[in-house]
Structures are given as structure tokens and as C-alpha cells.
Amino acid sequence: MDGLISLHEAAKISGYHQDYLSYLIRNKKLPGVRIGRSWGLKRQDLINFISAKQGNTIKNDGGVLRSIINNTPKSILIYLSIFILLILVYVVNHFIQNSANITENNSKNVGQFQTNILYSEEKEFSSSMTVTNSLK
């Protein structure tokens, strides 16, 4: 099977089912070779067949995303990239602001807690002084 690919690999590349590819080979619509109980075909023959059938949108190792990128005008890709970048900047900025607000709120709460402790200690101290002074 030198230079040939299996129907399993051809199915991954093309997106077609193995049974459909074997049907195409048996009906001479796709060149292929029978090797024992399996079929083999050249990768380039498969790519040529798919190109003719689908108009140059080939599902290869990059899959659907690669065919979209290859067939999309560059200006749209640039605008899409800028849009995604702006969303990312917004999300990061929002996260930073929220974490700063949380930190600020926590420090206020800690300060309020310390003030409450001091106030309660001062109140306790003044009330104990009052009791001591009244005993005299």
C-alpha cells in the first residue's frame, strides 16, 4: 500500500463515510485499488475528487475551520480578530475592576471591624471606670 491511504483515513479527510467511499470506488467514480478485503486510494485522487465535488472546500487535518479561514476575505478576518481582542480586553478589564472593588470592600470591612473592637473596648473601659468611680 505504498502511497495509498485506507478508507478509514480517507473518511477522516473527506468527512464521507467509509461505505460511501467504497461505493464510489466500486462504481468507478473515485479511483481506488482493492487490496485483500480492503480498499486503498491515493490521497491526491481523494483531494481532487472532493475539490471537484465541493468547489475547493476540503476537510483536511485543519477541518472546517481551516476551510472557512481559507475562503474568507482577509478584511473580515481582521475585523473579527479585532472584535475578539476588544471582547477579551473588556473581560479582563471588568475582572480587574471587580477584584479591585472586592479588595477595597474587604479592607473597609476589616477597618470597620477594628473600629468596632476599639469602640467596644473603649465602652467597656469607660463603664468599668464608672463603676469604680461610683464605688468611691
pLDDT digits (tens, 9 = 90+) for 13-38: 888 899 999 999 999 999 999 988 88
pLDDT at residue 58, as a whole number? 47
Q: Give the residue-averaged pLDDT of 92-102.
A: 80
Please report which confidence band the pLDDT of residue 79 belongs to, taking 50, 70 and 90 as the band edges. Answer: confident
Of 34, 52, 71, the position where a domain reaches its end is 71
The reply to whether 112 and 99 lie within a common domain is yes
What is the C-alpha separation between 4 and 37, in angstroms, rounded? 15
The reply to whether 53 and 21 lie within a common domain is yes
The reply to whether 86 and 112 lie within a common domain is yes
Cα–chain center distance at 20: 33
What is the C-alpha separation between 58 and 46, in angstroms, rounded? 10
Please report which confidence band the pLDDT of residue 40 belongs to, taking 50, 70 and 90 as the band edges. Answer: very high
The reply to whether 27 and 47 lie within a common domain is yes
The reply to whether 77 and 67 lie within a common domain is no
The reply to whether 93 and 57 lie within a common domain is no
Distances (CA, A) of 26 to 38, 46, 53, 76, 113: 12, 14, 18, 42, 83
What domain range includes position 58? 4-71
Find out whether 59 and 14 touch, Cβ atoms under 8 Å. yes
Q: Give the residue-averaged pLDDT of 52-77.
A: 63
Between 134 and 31, name the one with better pLDDT.
31
The reply to whether 82 and 55 lie within a common domain is no
The reply to whether 52 and 89 lie within a common domain is no
Please report which confidence band the pLDDT of residue 53 belongs to, taking 50, 70 and 90 as the band edges. Answer: confident
Of 49, 71, 93, the position where a domain reaches its end is 71
Q: Give the residue-averaged pLDDT of 30-53.
A: 88
State the Cα angle at 68 between 64 and 73, rounded to 5°: 170
Query: pLDDT at residue 55 above 90?
Result: no
The reply to whether 41 and 88 lie within a common domain is no
Please report which confidence band the pLDDT of residue 113 belongs to, taking 50, 70 and 90 as the band edges. Answer: low
DSSP state at residue 31: -
The reply to whether 29 and 8 lie within a common domain is yes
DSSP state at residue 41: E
The reply to whether 78 and 57 lie within a common domain is no
Query: pLDDT at residue 89 above 90?
Result: yes
Of 34, 56, 71, the position where a domain reaches its end is 71
The reply to whether 42 and 28 lie within a common domain is yes
Domain tally, the chain: 2
